[in-house]
Amino acid sequence: MRLTAGRTFLLWLLAMLAGAAIVWNSRFSADISFFLPARPSAEQQVLVDQLREGAVSRLLMLAVEGGDATARAAASRALQQRLAALPEFVAVQNGDAGSHDAERDFLFAHRYLLSPAVTPERFTEAGLAAAVSNSIDLLASPAGLLLKPFLTRDPTGELVELLGGLNAGAEPDSVEGVWASRDGARALLLVQTRALGSDTDGQQRAIALIREQFAAVHGAESLDLQLSGPGLFAVKARDTIRAEVARLSTISLGAIVAVLFFVYRSPRLLALSLLPVASGALAGVVAVSLAFGTVFGITVGFGAALIGEAVDYAIYYFVQSGRLGVDGWRQRYWPTIRLGVLTSVFGFGALLFSGFPGLAQLGLYTLAGVLTAALVTRFVLPRLAGPARGVTLSGRADAVLSGALRHARRLRWPVLALALAAVVHLALQREQLWLPNLSALSTTSEADAALDTRLRADLGAPDARYLAVVTAPDRETALAAAERAGQRLDRLVADGVIGGYDSPARFLPSAATQAARRASLPTAEALRPRLAAALADSPLSAARLDPFLADVEAARRQPLLGRDALEGTGLALVVDSLLLEGAAGWSVLLPLRPAGGAHGAELPIDAVRAALAGSGVLFVDMKGEFDALYGDYIGEAAWLSAAGFVAIALLLLAALRSPRRLAGVLLPLVLSVAIVIAGLHLAGERLHLLHLVGMLLIVAVGSNYALFFDRLAAGATHDAGTLTSMAVAATTTAIGFGTLALSSVPVLHAIGVTVGPGVLLALLLSAAFAPADTRR
């Protein structure tokens, strides 16, 4: 059955509608998952979970500025009350004096179930004498003020034991009774959202609520609210990417339409040329959506470049088929174009194997887009355009270009010298060429990052860099495992290897531990004579300690603590953020603090690993994992780029069947890569992973042009239109990628700034190194 133009169009339209339906139902995301590993190790999985859903990812830091200290403190209190009443927030802290009373009261009321010092030995005569004597000594010290009101109820000092394990000294400063920055100029609040860190919509709502409530609170006072945290970064990144997708696509499309109209001077041809582009862009999103489930915003932003690349095939068709007609074009040009499509597919296809999901998506998106655009050009466009309706050029353009081509040959030696200089420069700089960390890829602006660092330092907010992780099938086993890990960590604390650690088992011990502690409490009848004997020589008379006897007796009948008992205290929050139920069971996080307590201090990682070896505890250095992750990405990208390059070279060798012709095609591409990378480095561009990928793409895309010159060199008839079509196609591709260079999203910017100039240079150098017999 021969397809008529109408039927072809109908089929195409149906495919497009099906694609649109898939895109309509796709999930779009702009969160940090773009950068997180697709196949994480156990350590990386902890990192991924923490970044996406961990307590730290749900923290927002707030600072109230302006006015005087009294106005800021009042605003801080009012905002705290309003936010705490909203279901969107799990906790809102501002350090208000008295806000810790609930926690202290809870610890005191349950001290005999919670204190690790509660053992049968502690309630013997000797144990009591030692514990009370220690408490009395403490009375004479600065800690005594805290202890004194509780002495007759808690002469063994269990409350001190409990508080001693907490992180003292990490609280922010206080001005007018609420948290304030070191210089006192800002009142500070710490907010934990109910929405997960990966729930960008939820974070956006929470942030809007905070701003709304603040506007209602500060009234006539000229106060400002500053806000930072992972949630804000995610929301801002999404806004940036959304705006960029629209802006970049508009710029790219506008410029390309202008160029095409200048060449075609026909709205109909222009519209037809955009057909493969639209098909490709849609197919790209459909492929990514089907393969990954979620489409990253940055991937869609890459559409600006795809437009420039995908429009090439229509340009070749319309410009080259002008004289030859469709069949002639298919015969003479299509094989070269097909080879070019394949090199592009190989280049972008190499990215599919990346463990960096963002990169894999970019690869699949472009691959599907380019392939679709080429197929639509080959099979749909000719039917829709009708026979021989291409552009008939006067030949003047080609004549001008041919003249330029002859001049281009003079550039050979200067170009070789330049490329040699570039290679030498790169070789000399190879150690410091690539940025060593992932932050270079972050969309967060420097101003936002600086504000975040400042608020974090002011608040002493946990950076949760070091985590010990225990997993277990159920909560009780997990808590018991956390207690065993705690025993090993206690030794590290005692040896000064680490400064301390947090554990949910501190506030919610396993039932077995609680029961053992409760069982070690003696009856009042047994305790009274022991106490009298223990305190015979003490300045504290046993006669004053009836409240103690009563409390111990009550504790013997106290029910064991469950998670519900913590409700209404900040401790519930601590336990919930450290004791997590996941798909595979329960996991406990034990954040470790470096000794010395200084912010940013480092732990002796090897010593900690050695101490935890064989205990089933996973130790994770989040920063180390993050840096290693980027190192893995860089290594993998270098490997994939090399493999992609080799694959392209093999493909070309198979098609050209001549090592000399292969060298002729590859030489200008390799020189372009060297010159572009050295140029970027000299221009002060901070080179990272995506520049590296850009190098591969210069070869994959630039080879399309180099192949035409090879074809001409191989003795093909030099049609008017060949050179023009190449010049126009290279221009649109350079516009597409070049537009990405305008982006403030580092991933897009890096590819744009590398591939845009790279493609133009590849065309120019292919012309310069084209063998002599290309000239008529």
Report 473-502 residues binding another protein (CB under 8 A): 494
d(Cα 255, Cα 732) in Å, to the nearest integer? 8
Residue ranges in 219-302 assigned as alpha helix (H): 230-264, 267-292, 297-301
Please report how close the Cβ of residue 201 comes to another protein at its closest, in angstroms.
37
Q: Are 762 and 702 in contact (CB under 8 A)?
A: yes
Quick one: which of 25, 141, 222, 394 contacts another protein (CB under 8 A)? 141
Asked if 732 and 705 count as a contact pair (C-beta separation under 8 A), the reply is no
Residues 6+ apart with CB under 8 A from 480: 472, 510, 512, 513
CB 311 within 8 A of CB 273: yes
Please count the other Cβ atoms lying within 10 Å of the Cβ belonging to residue 257.
Answer: 17
Give the residue, chosen from 10, 42, 168, 215, that forms a contact with another protein under the rule CB under 8 A.
168
Amino acid identity, residue 318? F
* Whole-angstrom distance, CA of residue 276 vs CA of residue 270: 11
Binders of another protein among residues 169 to 208 (CB under 8 A) are 169, 171-174, 182
Nearer to another protein, 534 or 729 (CB): 534
What whole-number distance in Å separates Cα of residue 150 and Cα of residue 147? 6
Report helix, strand or coil for 228: strand
Q: CA end-to-end span of the chain, whole Å?
A: 43
- Select 525 or 537, whichever has its Cβ closest to another protein: 537
Interface with another protein, residue 250, by CB under 8 A: no
Minimum distance of another protein from residue 135's CB (angstroms): 11
Q: Which is nearer to another protein, 160 or 669 (CB)?
A: 160
Q: Which is nearer to another protein, 151 or 693 (CB)?
A: 151
**Nearest CB to another protein, comparing residues 168 and 246:** 168
- Distances in Å between the Cα of 150 and the Cα atoms of 64, 202, 291 are 37, 44, 63
Check residue 442 for interaction with another protein (CB under 8 A): no
- Least Å distance, CB 210 to another protein, is 25
- Stretch of 51-59, 85-93, 141-149, 358-366 contacting another protein, by CB under 8 A: 141-149
295 DSSP β-pair partners: 28
Cα–Cα nearest to 106, from 508, 424, 401, 682: 508
Residue 258 Rama label (left phi>0; alpha psi -120 to 50; beta): alpha
Choice between 494 and 583, CB closer to another protein: 494
Which one-letter amino acid corresponds to residue 462? P
CB of 187 to another protein, least distance (A): 14
State yes or no: residue 139 binds another protein (CB under 8 A).
Answer: yes
The whole-angstrom separation of Cα 357 and Cα 260 is 35
Nearer to another protein, 476 or 495 (CB): 495
> How many whole angstroms separate alpha carbon 469 and alpha carbon 534?
42
User: By C-beta, is 151 or 761 nearer to another protein?
Assistant: 151
Minimum distance from CB of 677 to another protein (Å)?
49
Q: Does 550 bind another protein (CB under 8 A)?
A: no
Interface segment toward another protein; rule CB under 8 A; list 28-36, 137-145, 569-577, 754-762: 137-145
- Percentages (nearest 5) of helix, strand, coil residues in the chain: 70, 10, 25
164 interacts with another protein by CB under 8 A: yes
Which span (199-207, 319-327, 535-543, 646-654) binds another protein, by CB under 8 A? 535-543
Q: Which CB sits closer to another protein, 169 or 684? A: 169
Stretch that binds another protein, among 52-60, 145-153, 394-402, 466-474 (CB under 8 A): 145-153
The amino acid occupying position 389 is R
Helix ranges, 25-68 (H): 42-53
By C-beta, is 97 or 243 nearer to another protein?
Answer: 97
Taking CB under 8 A as the binding criterion, the range among 220-228, 536-544, 701-709, 729-737 that sits at the site for another protein is: 536-544
Residue type, 219: G
Q: Is 597 in the site for another protein (CB under 8 A)?
A: yes
> Binding of another protein at residue 541 (CB under 8 A)?
yes
Looking at residue 624, its amino acid is G
User: How far apart are the C-alpha atoms of 453 and 451, rounded to whole Å?
Assistant: 5
600 is a site residue for another protein (CB under 8 A): no
Nearer to another protein, 169 or 267 (CB): 169
Nearer to another protein, 137 or 224 (CB): 137
Site for another protein (CB under 8 A): which residue of 87, 98, 142, 267? 142
CB of residue 498 to another protein, shortest distance in Å: 13
- Options 56, 83, 128, 136; binder of another protein; rule CB under 8 A: 136
3-state SS class at 470: strand
- Residue 157, SS3? coil
Q: How far is the CB of 140 from another protein (least distance, A)?
A: 5
- Assess 599 for contact with another protein (CB under 8 A): no
DSSP output for 666-708: HHHHHHHHHHHHHHHHHTT--B-HHHHHHHHHHHHHHHHHHHH
Residue 235 or 542 with smaller CB distance to another protein:
542
Q: Shortest distance, CB of residue 76 to another protein, whole angstroms?
A: 16
CA nearest neighbour of 310 among 713, 735, 625: 735
Nearest to 717 by CA among 392, 387, 408, 329: 329
Q: State the minimum distance, in angstroms, from the CB of residue 134 to another protein.
A: 8
Q: Which lies closer to another protein via its Cβ, residue 87 or residue 149?
A: 149
CA angle 282, 285, 291 (to 5 degrees): 135
Q: Which stretch binds another protein (CB under 8 A): 122-130, 148-156, 186-194, 380-388?
A: 148-156
448 is a site residue for another protein (CB under 8 A): no
**DSSP letter at 379?**
I
Residue 540 near another protein by CB under 8 A:
yes
Q: Which of 317, 323, 338 is nearest to 272 (CA)?
A: 317
Q: How far is the CB of 551 from another protein (least distance, A)?
A: 16
Q: Which of 539, 559, 600, 659 binds another protein (CB under 8 A)?
A: 539
Kindly state the helix (H) or strand (E) to which residue 311 belongs, with its residue range. helix 303-332
Among 78, 143, 416, 532, binds another protein (CB under 8 A): 143
Binding track over 626-655 against another protein, x by CB under 8 A: ------------------------------
DSSP state of 770: S
Residue with Cβ nearer another protein (341 or 595): 595
Q: Which of 710, 456, 708 is nearest to 599 (CA)?
A: 456
Give the span between the Cα atoms of 211 and 191, in whole angstroms. 13
Minimum distance from CB of 137 to another protein (Å)? 5
Is residue 720 within 8 Å of residue 393, measured between CB atoms? yes
Segment interacting with another protein (CB under 8 A) among 135-143, 369-377, 380-388, 610-618: 135-143
**Tokens 């209190």 found at:** 77
Pick the closest to residue 88 from 207, 211, 1, 6 (CA basis).
Answer: 207
- 101 near another protein, judged by CB under 8 A: no
Q: How far is the CB of 171 from another protein (least distance, A)?
A: 5
- Contact between 686 and another protein per CB under 8 A: no
Which residues lie near another protein (CB under 8 A)? 136-143, 145, 148, 151-152, 164, 168-169, 171-174, 182, 494, 539-541, 544, 597
